Chains A and B, each alone.
Chain A
Amino acid sequence: MVKFRKLTKAGLLGQIQDNFKKIIASDASSKSIVLSNDLEINLQRIKVILHKCSDVVYRDFIFAQNEQIRLALIYIDGLADSGQISNQIMRALALEVPMAVPGQNITKSEALEFIKQRGLCISQFKETEQMQDIIHAILSGDTILLVDGHATAIINNSRGKVQSLSNSEGKTMVRGPRELFVENLRINTALIRRRIKSPNLKIETFKVGNVSDTDIALVYIEGIVNEKLVAEVKSRLEKIKIDAVLESGYIEELIEDNPWSLFPTVNHTEKPDKLAAMLLEGRVAILLDGTPVVLTVPNLFVEYFQTPEDYYQRFLFTPAARFIRFISMIITLILPSLYIAVVSFHHELLPTPLLLSFAAHREVVPFPVFLEVFIMEVVFEVLREAGNRLPQLIGQIVSIGAALVLGAMAVQAGFMATSTVIVVIFTGIASFVFAYSASIAFRLLRFGLLVLAGTLGLFGLISGVAVIAIHMCTLRSFGVPYLSPIAPTTGADLADVIYRAPWWAMFSRPRLIAGQNRKRQEQGLKPSPQKNK
């Protein structure tokens, strides 16, 4: 059978495809490749370069003027304006041309010139013979028109406006793009494409959910991502047999490494710029139709201390900001427990004036300190939950304001000690500082530590913290240790943990995440005055 394959056209194309793959492999930039006369071969070549890009649309049709002439349109769904394409290009070439020039027969060799002069109802187009230009044009949102028998492609300007949600409410950014993902999968993929115009950005689509039949897209950058990781994610996704997937949280729970852990091992984001950065570090993203929340794996614990602003603002500020986030994490976890332990067991740890002022506040309080803190924590959580249900802008103000007023009143009435209210409210506010999904874990663990500190004092608190630390050390996210690059320590990756290295010094991608290609950029990009020659 293999012998005869050569004789058929499909076999021939298959061979072309194989050869072409080799060429691309040997010359990744595909700079030298020019178009061929054969439409079929051109299409195959583009398909090879843009393989696994499910958002690329290939549309071939017959030229209305001459049924012998085949045409093909290539564009990216979501990025190009498909209304303009069908109205102004397809409609003209497939239907309306005969009406313009009735009776006149156009030969194959005249077709290109004719289309350019009379066929296209589009204001702006270019011609090219270079494959490189074509790929770039497609990925930028332009539409390529290929004409059979001509080694020239017409690039039609069809860059549409990607309808994304602007970040007017919710999280405010100090600096950086305001764009957010939306519920539509195609728009979301286009949002990513707009940031990474590389043919290596692969978008593979599947269906998930026996009843809901939801579209799900796996996004990664070939050449940067670890191939094994992609295979692992795919195999985990394939195992999902569920009725419906309504939000990416379903997927998260079905592909997690450690389903019983309080700590999330799958990260998520709504920001296209953040997602692009994660993809460029070698992560895999999972997009789901119907939700703006995109999952990313593998997830490291340090990600909760990194924000997009860290990378946009001046790098010298980053360590300070990250230090604050880290301290907030520790405060969220242990401050109330530490307070209980010290006040009810270890008075000797406090400086005399501080002990006296604690004691003064507590003179009138009827409850033991453990109960007091516990009640106050519950009150704070109630207010926070209420705040979540209220309209977003009012919600936070109500919850924090109510906490303050309630706290002040409780102190005045003599139910609570001032120091307790300060500790609890400060802890509550600290828990807002770092990423929400991680703060949930710490908020819950905090209650466990409260009980430990209330019964066993510092001994209990430290044992609790040790258990948490041990647990975190055992966690893995898709094969990557959760606490890396801190534990296990991977030298170069520490450049983005405590501080963020300036961009001219960020030479490599995370070692445990990215695949073989770890080089991010060239050396010697640091700006410096030009030397006199």
Chain B
Amino acid sequence: MLKKIAFLLLLFLLISPLEGCWSRREINEIAIVLGTGVDWTAEGKLRLTVQIANPGAFVGEGGRGQEATNWVVSAESKTIEEAERVLAKMVPRDLHWDQSIILVLGEEMAKKGTNMVTDFFQRNIEPREIMWLMVAKGEAKNFLETYSELEKTSAQAAGFLTRMKTGYSVQLWEYAEMLASKGVQPVATRVEVKEVGVTPGLDLEKMTPIHKQVEISGVGVFKEDKLIGWLDEYETIGLLWLKNEFIKGVITIPSPSESNKEVSIKIRRGSTKIVPEFDGENLRFTIKVKVEGDMVEQQGREDLAKPDKIKALEKEMAEEIKRRAIVLLQKAQGEFGVDIFGFGDDFHRKYKKAWRELKDQWDVKFAEAEVNIEVEAYIREISLLGKRASSPEK
């Protein structure tokens, strides 16, 4: 027993200098990258921009008060890895990508092709595939240079915004999946830098006239890996519905008998089913949408707590959904001519043989397809107010 222990101890002592803690990196020797941006410059080079956290400014009392929370630095080069090497000459610590929350592509970069960028972030171990992918209107560098009022950095702010799924949010792996599939063309969140006037707290004296902040403003549409156009916020909600993601949507429709007053319905849950039909020649899709919602706001004074009024509201709600879907479909089939909804995947599942022939010309086929929309809408609740207090009816 004693011999065994002595042997093991010796073995351990002999091994420990050999491995020498080679991958050890103290936390205060690394530069934590919070957000990454890539632009395509006018000279035809890649510009890598990183937002590096300054940890000292992150803790309340122990921290060093008014320091900037981050440092945005960029470098230009032919590839991302080379640009990182250039950055290494400027940044006194090792760049660590594992906490990078967002990957922002500049508009020009996205038009040039995303494959040049995403490869580095997928191939390497450190960057995570769950980082949010977004396309900036304008330059990614500008986007990273803004700051947020509530969060410490713009990268975190953008990360939280996309995580709440107010728009259509895409993670790097989802984007890669869409890119790999022939049955769907990729989309990515569009972000913008907006200039707004902000009143900080109650102190009116110190009013900042203009502040740049980040905002989610729709979706960028790709054909293969190249950006071809945008969808605005109104259309993005339609996209969410058609892609079976009924999250946090609101539908506003006119009140049944007071057409100048609006009623807002918050979507509770819903589902979309796409049924492809193919007879060898003609391609037809039936989109079956089922939505449940709660009425949350009414501008008019009529009593909606009646079955016939609810029915009317439900009908109007279904119409509204249909209208939006048609607008969006027309845009996708006409203006862009790409299948951003993933109809191709549904078709693939049902007609495996036909898919083999159609897959290479799918976008053309999609653009020609006939699409029917069937919407079933239900209102489940009208919340706490049954009748308006000043209701004219008894």
Contact = CB atoms under 8 A, between A and B. Distances in A.
B99 A345 contact: no
B62 interface: yes
A352 B63 CA distance: 17
A362 B62 CA distance: 11
Nearest to A372: B26
B21 A455 contact: yes
Interface stretch (A323-331, A353-361, A388-396, A475-483): A353-361
A363 B21 CA distance: 21
Interface in B8-51: 16, 19, 21, 23-28, 30, 32, 34
A110 B26 CA distance: 97
Nearest to A352: B99
B122 to A, nearest CB: 16
A360 B24 contact: no
A356 B25 contact: no
Contact of A345 (B2, B25, B96): B25
Contact of A360 (B25, B55, B128): B55
A177 interface: no
A344 B27 contact: yes
A120 B99 CA distance: 91
A-side interface mostly: helix
A348 B55 CA distance: 16
Given A352-B101, A454-B21, A455-B21, A360 B26 contact: no
Contact of A355 (B19, B27, B59): B27
Nearest to B151: A353
A4 interface: no
A362 B56 CA distance: 9
Contact of B27 (A353, A369, A418): A369
Contacts of A361: 59, 62
Given A260-B1, A352-B156, A359 B28 contact: yes
A457 interface: yes
Contacts of B32: 347, 352, 355-356, 359
A348 B99 contact: yes
B289 to A, nearest CB: 37
A260 B5 contact: yes
Interface residues of A, number: 27
B21 A347 contact: no
Contacts of B27: 343-344, 347, 355, 358-359, 362, 369
B21 A352 contact: no
A455 B16 CA distance: 7
A223 interface: no
B329 interface: no
A368 interface: yes
A456 interface: yes
Contacts of A418: 62
A365 interface: yes
Nearest to B8: A467
Contacts of A456: 19, 21
B32 to A, nearest CB: 7
A433 to B, nearest CB: 29
Contacts of A368: 24, 26
Chain B interface extent, by class? 20 to 34
Contacts of B82: none
Given A347-B27, A362-B26, A362-B27, A357 B59 contact: yes
A345 B63 contact: no
A347 B62 contact: no
Given A352-B156, A360-B55, A454-B21, A344 B5 contact: no
Contacts of B62: 360-361, 411, 418
Contacts of A353: 58
B101 to A, nearest CB: 7
A303 B156 CA distance: 49
B61 to A, nearest CB: 10
Contacts of B258: none
Interface string A364-392: 01001100000000000000000000000
Instruction: Choose among B5, B26, B27, B34 the residue with the greatest number of A CB atoms under 10 Å from its CB.
Output: B27
Contacts of B24: 344-345, 368, 457
A345 B23 contact: yes
B42 to A, nearest CB: 34
A29 B319 CA distance: 89
Contact of A344 (B25, B34, B55, B96): B25
Contacts of A365: 28
A369 B126 contact: no
Contacts of A352: 32, 34, 99, 101, 156
Nearest to A359: B55
Contacts of A451: 16
A360 B101 contact: no
Nearest to B96: A347
B98 interface: yes
B53 interface: yes
A363 B5 contact: no
B58 A357 contact: yes
B28 A362 contact: yes
A358 B53 CA distance: 12
B19 A363 contact: no
A359 B29 CA distance: 9
B387 to A, nearest CB: 47
A411 to B, nearest CB: 8
Nearest to A356: B58
Contacts of A345: 23-25
Interface in A249-286: 260
Given A343-B26, A343-B27, A347-B27, A360 B99 contact: no
A185 B368 CA distance: 100
Nearest to A448: B12
13 contacts: A345-B23, A345-B25, A347-B32, A348-B99, A352-B99, A356-B53, A356-B55, A357-B58, A359-B58, A360-B62, A362-B27, A363-B56, A454-B21
Q: Which 4 A-B pairs have the closest CB atoms?
A: A359-B55, A348-B98, A360-B55, A360-B59
Given A356-B58, A361-B62, A411-B62, 15 more contacts: A260-B5, A344-B24, A344-B26, A347-B25, A347-B27, A352-B34, A355-B32, A357-B58, A359-B27, A360-B56, A360-B59, A362-B27, A368-B26, A454-B21, A455-B16
Interface of A: 260, 343-345, 347-348, 352-353, 355-363, 365, 368-369, 411, 418, 451, 454-457
